[in-house]
Amino acid sequence: MPKLVVDGKEIEFKQGQTIIEAAKEAGNTIPHFCWHPSLSVSGNCRVCLVEVEKMPKLVIACSTLAAEGMIVHTASEKALAARNAVMEFLLINHPLDCPICDEAGECKLQDYAYAHGVGESRFVEEKTHKDKRVPLGPNIMFDGDRCISCSRCIRFCDEIAGAPELTFVKRGDRVTIVTYPGRQLENPYAMNVVDICPVGALTNRDFRFKARVWDMSANKTICQGCSRGCNIELWVRNNEILRITPRQNDEVNSYWMCDHGRLNTFKFVNADDRVDGPYLRREGSLAKVGWDEAFAAAASELKQFNKNEIAFIGSAFASCEDNYMLREFALNVIGSRHIDFMRHSDSNFGDEILRKNDITPNTMGAELVGVTPAAGGLNFDGIINSINEGKIKALYLIEDDILSANPELENTLAKLNLFIVHSSNFNKTTTLADIVFPAAAYAEKNGTMVNFQGRIQRLMPAVATLEQDRSLDGMAMSRLDKFGTRFDRWAKGNKRDVRPTWKIILSLSAAAGYKLIRQAQANMAEDIFEIMSKKIDAFKGLDYDKIGEKGIMLKIDVAEKA
């Protein structure tokens, strides 16, 4: 491979790479505003000016191709002087409103002003003022004073979202960004412009003024909006999720995520309608009870039915570990072969960018762990028909809202003699339940999910629960840290009395007098996965460490499982 020298270090580069790309790949990040790895080159901020030996003047690293034998200086006297001059120019009209800016703490202009600025402005005239608090669309607010005209947002809409909605107008120090006449910034990926804006010009209207970045924890996990499984970070303060941002994974979602995933997949975790503790139906209404009473009641009630009268419905919203334990409980404790899960699809949701018509995160995972009818068992439609016929009298459902998706089934579910539900929130389905167990939401538990590509990825907790507090009593913090837990037992904010579905099932099986797994072997979700990896071919040889933060492709025939 050809080589060049950057700041005295010889590095290899691929033919066609620019200086900034070659340097970044070698671990040397050259300051930049307008350049983005996934967008076209605009070369209009000039912060990436570098000195190249034998060239008559400084060049911008973002658009200058690397060449064999090229010697580049990113921190020479000339390069630093030019960078400082550019920074002084950019700050001439920039407002001094860092204390109230949502971007503070993650602002490139703030960082570069400290690293490359002169420390004071020689400009004493009145600053140019532009429009503030301009709603460009339903989710984006624009502050013209802060904009440095890098054009990232314009290029994103044109090149990634495929929806030209933004453009520059006016010239010189009057230049600003507007939407095209009669249009808004409202494409399905519009909020990515907030992430890539290097300053505080574009802000998230849903998150605006809610918290400072240094007051939140950023927790890695995956989006629940569809079967893509975009890699994301959940930002939490006082045990409440305040925003979601995409996390780079070139194999899954690049740098992006859709607005639906960003806005509609976390608020239920914070909602007031969470199921906080177990509930039993008494005199026609649900009453909160203790865990032991709920387990005893569920075990006792299930024993009243023949195994062929009981059916189980898993969930493509639940983790692989949760679904696996439901299957083991159905087959080995109850002896029922009637097990399946409901598929959720929206033909109007998917697109050619990221979104998929399968609007659940773990359809393939549920299939791989065996949440499908055993030999002679009923599928989902068969279970529903058998309830109507009076053949299925008890139903055990985890982490799905059947009635919201199929309101016509209300009379069918009302025919059940026993209906046990695991749910994170009260919903239309729980109103018919006889026993409700509080299931931990995806943001409150460890686990795995498999996306439509056949890539297994990790769920990692961001919100603390009472159950996690109890678990910490007998567990080394080093073990928790190893598996990505970012919160601590003293986290402020409301902690709900919820448990992961796999753990609820394990306790219920013990109450029924059957130990699916020895308790000492199943303190954490990775213990369940270790058992799965020994029994399920697709997971053989894997553990949480190998899956890592960005997942790993399974050796399966995806076309067959899709």
User: Each residue of 362-374: pLDDT tens digit?
Assistant: 999 999 999 999 9
Nearest in space to 263 (alpha carbons), one of 204, 194, 214: 204
Domain segments of the chain as ranges: 3-91, 98-103+121-270, 279-561
Kindly report the length of the chain: 562
pLDDT at 494: 82
CATH architecture assignment, domain 279-561: 3-Layer(aba) Sandwich (3.40)
Q: What is the 3-state secondary structure (H, E, C) of 521-547?
A: HCCCHHHHHHHHHHHCHHHCCCCHHHH
Per-residue tokens: 334? 């109850």
C-alpha distances in angstroms, 330 versus 83, 307, 374, 444, 552?
Answer: 66, 9, 10, 25, 29
pLDDT tens for each residue of 322-359 = 999 999 999 999 999 999 999 999 999 999 999 999 99
Backbone angles phi, psi at 81, to 5 degrees: -65, -40
Q: How many other C-beta atoms are found inside a 10 Å radius of the C-beta of residue 488?
A: 13
CB 140 within 8 A of CB 184: no
Burial 250-285 (b: 16+ CB within 10 A, else e): eebbbbbbbbbbbbebbebbbeeebbbbbbbbeeee
Average pLDDT of 37-46? 95
CA 97, 102, 106, 107 torsion: positive or negative?
negative
Provide the pLDDT confidence category of residue 484 given band limits of 50, 70 and 90: very low
Residue 490 has pLDDT above 50, yes or no: no
Per-residue pLDDT for 243 more than 60?
Answer: yes
Residue type, 488: D
Does pLDDT of 151 surpass 90?
A: yes
**Cα separation of 278 and 290, whole Å?**
6
Identify the DSSP state of 409.
G
| pLDDT at residue 124 greater than cutoff 90 | no
Fold of 3-91: Ubiquitin-like (UB roll) (3.10.20)
Q: Which amino acid is at 354?
A: L
Query: With bands split at pLDDT 50, 70 and 90, how would you rate the model's confidence at 422?
Result: very high
Across the range 475-496, mean pLDDT stands at: 53
Read off the pLDDT band of 56 (50, 70, 90): very high
- Report the range of poorest mean pLDDT among 197-211, 470-484, 525-539: 470-484
Task: State the pLDDT at residue 470.
Answer: 60
Determine the average pLDDT of the residues in 533-545.
Answer: 96
What is the structure's pLDDT at 292? 96
Is residue 276 within 8 A of residue 497, CB to CB? The reply is: yes
Global confidence as pTM: 0.92
Whole-angstrom CA distances from 366 to 83, 109, 222, 251, 255 are 54, 46, 16, 22, 27
- What is the model's pLDDT at position 469? 65
**Rg, Å, the chain Cα set:** 27
Give the Cα separation of 498 and 466 in Å (integer).
Answer: 7
pLDDT band of 561, cuts 50, 70, 90: very low
- Mean pLDDT over 499-522 rounds to 84
Closest C-alpha among 35, 38, 39 to residue 155: 39
Rounded-to-integer distance, Cα 35 and Cα 24, Å: 12
pLDDT confidence of residue 120: 78
Select the CATH number that applies to the domain covering 98-103+121-270 from these four: 3.60.110.10, 3.30.70.20, 3.90.45.10, 3.40.50.1970.
Answer: 3.30.70.20
Mean pLDDT of 429-448: 97
Exposure on the CB side of residue 435, measured as CA atoms within 13 A: 25
Look at phi and psi of residue 73 and say left if phi exceeds 0, alpha if psi is from -120 to 50, else beta. Answer: beta
Q: How confident is the model at residue 445 (pLDDT cuts 50, 70, 90)?
A: very high
Mean pLDDT of the chain: 92
Nearest alpha-carbon partner for 330 in 530, 505, 498, 448: 505
pLDDT value of position 221: 98
Cα 225 to Cα 227: distance, rounded to the nearest angstrom: 7
Give the integer Cα–Cα distance in Å for 20 and 18: 5
Contact present, 412 and 388 (Cβ < 8 Å): yes
End-to-end CA distance of the chain: 40
Q: Are 438 and 276 in contact (CB under 8 A)?
A: yes
Q: Which residue has the tokens 């209906």?
A: 419
Angle at 375 between CA 324 and CA 323, to 5 degrees: 10
CA distances from 370 to 62, 320, 326, 365 (A): 50, 10, 10, 9
pLDDT attached to residue 475: 42
Average pLDDT for residues 524-552, to the nearest whole number? Answer: 95
Q: Indicate the residue type of 473.
A: D
